[in-house]
């Protein structure tokens, strides 16, 4: 089934299942997809607003220019999405315990998000912005973090030996997070 330019809200019962569907320029508002499945579905230029997507399955889902605002996306594996055309942006979202594996996230926006214990592995994050994000215990391994803006984020720990950091931006307060592996004591 194909859906174009529609708004989905809690009162709507238009969609019986969310797998293997096509959505273009659709808006999803205040819906709870917890532990549901978007497997095989395609989302093109869609927005999710105030939705709960905790543990949602994204196996082979296509996310092209999808924006999430004020959403809860804990325990979501974005590494299982279809990689072709993958582009997502997040604002005021809870992304704790999420996984980004082998994703191209060039120029993605993470604005005022919680990314506690998230995991970025083998991703290209060139030019991505992490603005005012909590990165507590977030792991960055084998990523291209060139030109990434971390300057306003906090609780940041990155090993410069296992990530490419050319022209990445950091605040003075986050510099100790780049030296953690050296077990140094830094005082103000």
The Cα–Cα gap between 116 and 96 comes to: 5
pLDDT in tens, the chain (188 residues): 799 999 999 876 656 689 999 999 999 999 999 999 999 999 999 999 999 999 999 999 999 999 999 999 999 999 999 999 999 999 999 999 999 999 999 999 999 999 999 999 999 999 999 999 999 999 999 999 999 999 999 999 999 999 999 999 988 776 656 656 655 555 55
Q: How much is the pTM? A: 0.91
Q: How confident is the model at residue 96, as a pLDDT?
A: 98
Does the domain at 95-183 match CATH 2.160.20.80? Answer given as yes
For residue 91, give the nearest of 64, 122, 66 by alpha carbon. Answer: 66
In 62-164, the DSSP E strands lie at 62-64, 66-69, 88-91, 99-101, 109-111, 119-121, 129-131, 139-141
Edge-to-edge strand list for the sheet holding 109-111: 7-8, 27-29, 47-49, 66-69, 88-91, 109-111, 129-131
Q: Where are the domains of the chain?
A: 1-69, 95-183
């Amino acid at each position: 089934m194909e859906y174009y330019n529609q708004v989905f809200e809690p009162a709507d019962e238009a969609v019986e299942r969310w797998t293997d569907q096509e959505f273009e320029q659709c808006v999803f508002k205040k819906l709870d997809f917890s532990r549901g499945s978007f497997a095989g579905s395609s989302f093109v230029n869609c927005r999710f607003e105030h939705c709960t997507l905790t543990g949602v399955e994204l196996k082979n889902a296509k996310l092209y220019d999808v924006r999430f605002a004020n959403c809860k996306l804990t325990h979501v594996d974005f590494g299982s999405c279809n990689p072709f055309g993958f582009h997502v942006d997040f604002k005021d979202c809870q992304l704790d315990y999420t996984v980004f594996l082998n994703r191209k996230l060039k120029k993605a926006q993470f604005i005022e998000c919680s990314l506690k214990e998230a995991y970025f592995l083998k991703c290209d994050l060139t030019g991505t912005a992490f603005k005012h994000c909590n990165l507590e215990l977030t792991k960055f391994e084998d990523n291209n973090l060139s030109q990434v803006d971390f300057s306003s984020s906090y609780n940041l720990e990155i090993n410069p030996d296992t990530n490419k950091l050319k022209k990445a931006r950091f605040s003075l307060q986050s510099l100790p997070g780049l030296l953690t592996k050296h077990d140094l004591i830094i005082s103000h």
